[in-house]
Amino acid sequence: MVLDCTRGDGRRLRDPDTAHVRRAPVVGRAEAWRLPGNPNWVEWVDTAQERSVRQRLDLGPGVWELSLRYFSDVPLELRSAGVRASLPPYLADPTSFFAAGRVRHRGGPLTVDVIVPRRRLPDVVRQVRIGTLVATPVVAEDRAVPMRDACRRYVDWYAPAP
């Protein structure tokens, strides 16, 4: 989040506190995943056929870490510029993100595909939900700063003074 020190919780943070600041990530909404001919959010109850969905993120130049939030009882595959990641089945906390890999990008739209394999005949009906996609910049400027220097910057986390 971008820290607003002029109101709310931002006004209560103390100067001895430390903030970890970085460039803001680019977030692709879960609703942006699309199936051909289907305007709804991607959720399958049966994966009898292989399916794939696509999303584009507008990124600046540099190295980006791709992460995905999903809930699936089948493995998924994420593909993008130079990344081909196998994501294991995951049926626990749907708020967790899984790192899928890093891409070096020249800037502009980056296409990301998620492939859901077709189910094997002995499999029972499967459920897959694909959620938020995040690209986090991997840069040397990530650093800890005094709280007073974090105002109007993206704060990844902060630590209160002891």
Decide: helix, strand or coil at residue 99.
strand
Q: Are 28 and 41 in contact, with CB atoms under 8 Å apart?
A: no
pLDDT at 34 over 70: no
How far apart (Å, rounded) are the C-alpha atoms in residues 155 and 5?
A: 12
pLDDT band at residue 155 using 50, 70 and 90 as cut-offs: confident
Residue type, 136: T
How far apart (Å, rounded) are the C-alpha atoms in residues 12 and 20?
A: 17
pLDDT tens digits for 97-153? Answer: 999 999 999 999 999 999 988 766 665 666 788 889 999 998 766 688 888 788 888
pLDDT band at residue 31 using 50, 70 and 90 as cut-offs: confident
More confident residue, 42 or 130: 130
Architecture, CATH, for domain 23-140: Sandwich (2.60)
Residue type, 3: L
In this prediction, residues 53-64 reach a mean pLDDT of 94
Domain with CATH 2.60.120.260 in the chain: 23-140
Indicate if the alpha-carbon torsion angle 44, 69, 52, 33 is positive or negative.
positive
Q: Which residues are registered as beta bridge partners of 86? A: 77
In this prediction, residues 13-41 reach a mean pLDDT of 75
In this prediction, residues 39-64 reach a mean pLDDT of 77
Position 120 scores a pLDDT of 66
Q: Which residues are registered as beta bridge partners of 102? A: 65
Q: Tally the residues of the chain.
A: 162
Q: Which of 5-9, 48-52, 83-87 has the highest mean pLDDT?
A: 83-87
- What stretches of 73-153 adopt beta strand conformation (E)? 76-80, 83-87, 98-105, 108-116, 128-137, 143-146
| pTM more than 0.85 | no
How far apart (Å, rounded) are the C-alpha atoms in residues 157 and 19?
A: 6
